Structure 1
């Protein structure tokens, strides 16, 4: 079981996160990402873990900033960026997911002719971010109520950008909320945008392209532009955990 410590952080052994991430079918994840720019990892978090993370939203001591989307034209709803040190469970999954995603990201950059390569460990990548002046943590907790939505966007916070992101649904569709589907759009050259609606259950994570991804065409690979958002919530309340792997300026 997962519980909140007295300090308001999540107590969970990192080895549990590592074991769950290692148990994922990474061949299927790679295949789905190459096919559509996103992949679902089912049951990454357990229901009690989802509830414990969602409960953190009310404790401001866990966060560095609070954003109301409507004030910035981002949509409706709100989110909070965690501060360092991250809650144990969240930091453990960020660290455990990164090495697998770095392999995919490096392969994508090679296909797109991008010279950047990502180090094997997340600690080394965060060190690079901090040396570049990107020192603010980017994991975030999002909260939506009835009528809220998130406009299509890309999460770019500085010159150093990790091209994959993971979002985990903490609420249960149909029980806690209705509507509020996770949505991706893909813009290929000289074509109309393609829309992908990603069905998620509580505890499922979706890994997706932050800005660009390679697509194989008749003349080789080319880049397509990706954006993501959340459709309008019809009823209830929806919480999600966003894991962004680069830090912000």
Structure 2
């Protein structure tokens, strides 16, 4: 077995061993769930170092040009490198059943197939053919404004971010933040305490919340607070492709 297959097999075992019931409970209660140690330090370092390899990417965005914040990111090109391709195909089928239950609860007609390849085929048929996994890079004073990663009409309602740098060693500040907007209420801020290799699964746009008068939709946005020092890299895993 070559190294690439061995890594993919190990990653599949790690994902299978996660407590998916607890992850779903957290997503239902809070709109996000943390997965500790999804990637090891060696893989995190390798992915972060890959930012300098322009051949891996299809485009580069400098956030300040578009008032997105400060810092920059690059979108990976197809074919996606490992372990990004495996992460996308392994995590999606674990999240698709919950995504379907959320849509049913919110009265949204869209349903998601069990396999990620089938979902991508649907995206591509609708003209959404550009890959969306991305690698973000922040330096001192950089931040990411609150936003949603939608990219087209077909949107998978959950996504994953993995912190590749080590807080306190590689950088200071730069917390991953979420805000939740419930009807007729002020926004609720949430800070996710990620360590190196930890992942956060969170709602892209809306999630259902059960109220006294039935189910209503809650809007979520995410971003990154200002870095005080150092450099921070994050892998963003979005399951729909872009127009």
Q: Tell me, yes or no, if structure 1 residue 186 matches structure 2 residue 180.
A: yes
| Pairwise CA distance, 1:235 | 0.4
**Any conservation in 2 of the 1:181–1:231 contact (CA below 8 Å)?**
yes
Aligned runs of 1:1-249 on 2, under 5 Å? 13-249=7-243
CA RMSD of aligned residues (A): 1.3
Q: Which residue of 2 aligns with 1:7?
A: none
In structure 1, the gaps of 5 or more residues are 4-9
CA distance in 2, matches of 1:15, 1:114: 35
Question: 1:88 Cα shift?
Answer: 2.0
Deviations 1:98-136 (A, max 9, x none): 001101100100110111100000000000000000000
Aligned counterparts of 2:151 and 2:230: Cα–Cα separation in 1: 31
Distance in 1 (alpha carbons) for counterparts of 2:48 and 2:7? 19
TM-score using structure 2 length: 0.97
Cα distance in 2, alignment partners of residues 144 and 170 from structure 1: 12
Distance 1:178 1:11, change over 3 A: farther
**TM-score of the two chains, using structure 1 as the length reference:** 0.95
How many Å apart are 1:15 and its aligned residue? 1.9
Aligned-pair CA distance for 1:11: 7.5
Offset at 1:196?
0.4
Q: Which runs of 5+ in 2 are unaligned?
A: none
Could you say what secondary structure the match of 1:52 adopts?
Answer: helix
For residues 5 and 225 of structure 2, the distance between their equivalents in structure 1, rounded to whole angstroms, comes to 32
Shift of 1:221: 1.1
SS in structure 1 of the partner of residue 34 of structure 2: strand
CA distance in structure 1 between the aligned counterparts of 2:58 and 2:181, rounded to whole angstroms: 34
Say which SS state the counterpart of residue 13 (structure 1) adopts.
Answer: helix
| CA distances 1:31-59 after superposition (whole Å, capped 9, x unpaired) | 11111100000000000000010011000
- SS of the residue corresponding to residue 124 of structure 2 reads helix
Superposed CA offset, 1:144-203 (max 9, x none): 000000000000100100000000000000000000000000000000000000000000
Report the Cα distance in structure 2 between the residues aligned to 1:137 and 1:228, rounded to whole angstroms.
20
